[in-house]
Structures are given as structure tokens and as C-alpha cells.
A = this chain, B = another copy of it.
């Protein structure tokens, strides 16, 4: 084992663990709360209800065009908070490292976590690192949990869709999923496939400031993609959703890669997009506001909520018919995030 790799001792809780904390975590993630290194972080309370979420990240490969596992872990958990209308306050960071992991690679990931956290304005305030023996993990798994506060007048839930609501997608579909799949398949594509990983809370805050009562549901279509998220929303809201296939925003290079790999973009993970179910009579104004933000500049209305069988998602095809879109099943797309 070289000097420059993770040792079991780094997870022992003793001096080697402390070295890792001071030489890496405090160096790149520093803030007064994290620096206290106590059993729990203590933060001032905020007004509003509490939002709490957790996600583990096991993406393979660790680095990919547009991002890496560290950025994904920061953005993903921030987005899960934003999807309930919460203002993200802070994140925790739990690492499970494999013995032998290259310390330079770990440093790159920690730097990336620090950048994503700083850019998003959401600090890492508490953390934990464990090490498992070589062959019992895969370099690094990351858990980020997050806390946010929901203003008292905001209520966002997948139950809140009503008939007549418009379904907005904040940008193109499938970019993250297809980037990971082509990298893993070793396929080199022309064009510029890259992950869309990005935090969405600033865009959501603007939408909620202007349209506090008209945003009914928000959901980031990660694993399982837009199709699975819409099925869940339709089921929770006890309505059907009618989508228009021609409106679906898919980049040409994503479409081409999907054809090669036999995948459907509707089921591919996105890491910087959201679905917004919004009041039909405000949909154009909300779309316009979304398009004025960097995160939502390619937003489109892709369908609407309609009376009908609870949980059914239909898509109008260009030839005039319609078909049922089910949730993802039987297609394991492992380690996408």
C-alpha cells in the first residue's frame, strides 16, 4: 500500500482519522460549525417547518463529463430539499472509503464537494468517515443528508396536483443518465454529452417568491427518470397525466446515444432538472420566469394533469395515438447516482 492511499487506520477514529480531517476535510470544507468537530453540529434555529432528506451516492464512474460523485452528492440533496419548497440550510457528509483508494482522487472529490457547497451557499456542517477493507467497497460511497426550512405559507407535495395543472420540465431530459451509461459502455459519442448536475434551489426560491400558491408539486426526476416521477405524482394526486411526445426536450446527442444503447430518455436519470406541476392559468407566466433563470432557461410545458384513472400517465405520439407510460421496471440501471 503506498503512502498516498487510504489505509484501514484512516477509519480507526484515532490519529490517522484526525489527520484526514485536518488535511482534507477542514482544508476544503472549512466553516466555524464544521470546525468544532463535536459529536453533533449545533446551528441556530430558523423560522418555518423543518425539511429533512438523505441520499447515498454510489455512481460509477466517479468522474464524468459535467461532474463527479462529490458534486452530485451536494446538488442531489439540496434539490431534494428544494422540491418541498425548503430553503436548504446545511448538509452532512458521510464517506465510506475503500482501503487502497488513491488519496489524490479523494482530494479531487473533496475539493469538488467544497466548490459545489460554496457555490450553492449550503455548508457541510458535520461528517463521518469509515474505511472498509479492499474488495469490500468501491473506492468511495457518499451519503449526504440535508436540513432546510419551509416558509409557513408554502405547501408543495406530490399530492397537490389538480386537474388542469400544467406539467413543466425545467430543461432537457436524460443528460445525466446517458452520460453515465455511455461512459460505462465505453462508447465515445460525437457531440457534447455531459451530466446536467446542478442545484436548483435558487430557481425554486424565485418561483415560490412570485407564485407561492400556484406551484403545487415539484419533483426532481433522478433515478427512474421523468416517466417514473410523473407516475408517482399522478398516483399521489389521484389523477392522470397527459404528455405530448413532441414537446419532450431531448438533446440530439442524447437521442442518438439512446438509440445506440436501446434506452428511452423518459426513464433516464436527471440531476439538474425539475418537474413542476403548476396552476394552468399561471403556467405561461411561471414558464417565462423559469426561463429567465440560468437553471431553467430551456424549460418547456410537456403535458397536463387531467381527470382520469388515478396514477395513469399517457403520452400523445406524433402519429395521433397515445400510449401508457409505466414506471421504470425490470431495467436495472445501477449506480447512476
Binding site for B on A (CB under 8 A): 7-9, 11-18, 36, 38-58, 79-81, 83-84, 86, 90, 92-96, 99, 125-128, 130-133, 135-138, 141, 143, 145-150, 157-158, 218-220, 222-224, 228, 267, 269, 326-335
The answer to whether B329 and A16 touch across the interface, beta carbons within 8 angstroms, is yes
Q: A135-B135, A145-B94 are in contact. Are A52 and B126 (CB under 8 A)?
A: yes
Contact A50 B39 (CB under 8 A): no
Apart from A14-B228, A40-B84, A145-B145, 7 more pairs, CB < 8 Å: A13-B328, A39-B79, A39-B218, A58-B130, A133-B334, A135-B135, A147-B147
Known contacts: A43-B50, A49-B45, A334-B8. The answer to whether A38 contacts B157 by CB under 8 A is yes
Interchain CB contact (< 8 A) of A13 among B36, B130, B223: B223
Closest to A222 in B: B13
Query: How far, in whole Å, are A133 and B336 apart by their CA atoms in the complex?
Result: 12
B332 touches A54 (CB 8 A): no
CA separation between A89 and B327, bound complex, in Å? 34
Q: How far is the CA of A136 from the CA of B18 in the complex (A)?
A: 27
Chain B residues contacting A39 (CB-CB under 8 Å) are: 53, 79-81, 83-84, 218-220
- Classify the secondary structure of A's interface with B: mixed
Q: Smallest CB–CB gap between A310 and chain B, Å?
A: 15
Partner of A52, one of B41, B48, B330: B41
With beta carbons under 8 angstroms apart, the residue of B9, B53, B148, B269 that contacts A332 is B9
State the copy count for this chain.
2
Asked if residues B81 and A40 are in contact (CB atoms below 8 Å), the reply is yes
> Shortest CB–CB separation between residue A109 and chain B, in angstroms?
16
How far, in whole Å, are A260 and B220 apart by their CA atoms in the complex? 54
The answer on a CB contact under 8 Å between A96 and B56 is yes
Partner of A40, one of B83, B138, B224, B328: B83
In the complex, what distance in Å separates the CA atom of A331 from the CA atom of B220?
44
- B residues in contact with A47, CB < 8 Å: 45
Q: How far is the CA of A99 from the CA of B136 in the complex (A)?
A: 13
Complex contact B49–A42 (CB within 8 A) = yes
* Chain B residues whose C-beta falls within 8 Å of the C-beta of A224 in the assembled complex: 12-14, 17
A95 in contact with B52 (CB, 8 Å): no
A14-B224, A132-B335, A332-B8 known; A54-B94 Cβ under 8 A? yes
Instruction: Write the nearest CB–CB distance from A182 to chain B, whole angstroms.
Output: 18
Chain B residues whose CB sits within 8 angstroms of the CB of A53 once the complex forms: 39-41, 92, 126
* Closest chain B residue, CB of each to CB of A44: B49
Q: Is the CB of A55 within 8 A of B334?
A: no
Q: Which of A15, A92, A334, A335 has its CB near the most chain B CB atoms (within 10 A)?
A: A334
- CB of A52 within 8 A of CB of B125, answer yes
A329 touches B222 (CB 8 A): no
Cα A107 to Cα B15 with chains together (Å): 37
* Given contacts A83-B39, A132-B138, A52 and B92 within 8 Å (CB-CB): yes
Q: Nearest chain B CB to A148's CB is how many angstroms away? A: 7
Does A95 lie within 8 Å of B56, measured CB to CB? Answer: yes
Given that A53-B40, A136-B138, A224-B12 are contacting pairs, would A145 and B80 also be in contact in the complex, using a CB cutoff of 8 Å?
no
